[in-house]
Amino acid sequence: MVLDVTVSRDDRFIVTCDRDEKIRVSLSRSPYNIQSFCLGHQQFVSALLSPSGGPHTLLSGSGDGTVCVWDMETGRRLQTVDLREQCRPTEEERLTVSRLCSSPDGGHVAVLCERLKEIQLLSLEQTEGGAVLSPHSHLPLSHCPLDLSFDPSGRLWVLLNCAESPLLVYGHAQGSWEQLDALSPDLSRVSPAFKTFWDAADESQRSSSRLEHLYVETYDNVSEYMKKKQQRLEQQSHKRSREHSREPKQTNKPKKTKAEANGS
Domain locations in the chain? 2-214
What's the pLDDT at 92?
A: 57
What's the pLDDT at 259?
A: 60
Q: Could you tell me the pLDDT band of residue 198, with boundaries at 50, 70 and 90? A: confident
Residue 212 has pLDDT above 80, yes or no: no
Residue 219 has pLDDT above 70, yes or no: no
What's the pLDDT at 195?
A: 78
Among candidates 27, 97, 21, 101, which has minimal Cα distance to 63?
97
Among candidates 173, 170, 193, 172, which has minimal Cα distance to 182?
170
Long-range contacts formed by 16-23: CB under 8 A, 24+ apart: 16/48, 17/45, 17/46, 17/47, 17/48, 17/60, 18/44, 18/45, 19/44, 19/214, 20/44, 21/45, 21/62, 23/48, 23/58, 23/60, 23/70
Higher pLDDT, residue 100 or 261: 100
Please write the tens of the pLDDT for every residue from 86-145: 776 555 568 899 999 999 998 999 999 988 899 999 999 988 878 899 988 889 999 889
Please write the tens of the pLDDT for every residue from 40-58: 999 999 999 999 878 889 9
What's the pLDDT at 218?
A: 59
Most confident of 13-17, 111-115, 206-210: 13-17
What is the percent of the chain where pLDDT is above 90? 45
CATH topology of domain 2-214: Methylamine Dehydrogenase; Chain H (2.130.10)
What's the pLDDT at 197?
A: 77
The model's pTM is: 0.75
Task: Identify whether the C-beta of residue 87 lies closer than 8 Å to the C-beta of residue 44.
Answer: no
What's the pLDDT at 221?
A: 61
Question: What average pLDDT score do residues 193-214 get?
Answer: 70
In order, the DSSP letters of 209-230 are -SSGGG------HHHHHHHHHH
What's the pLDDT at 158?
A: 94
Average pLDDT of the chain to the nearest whole number: 84
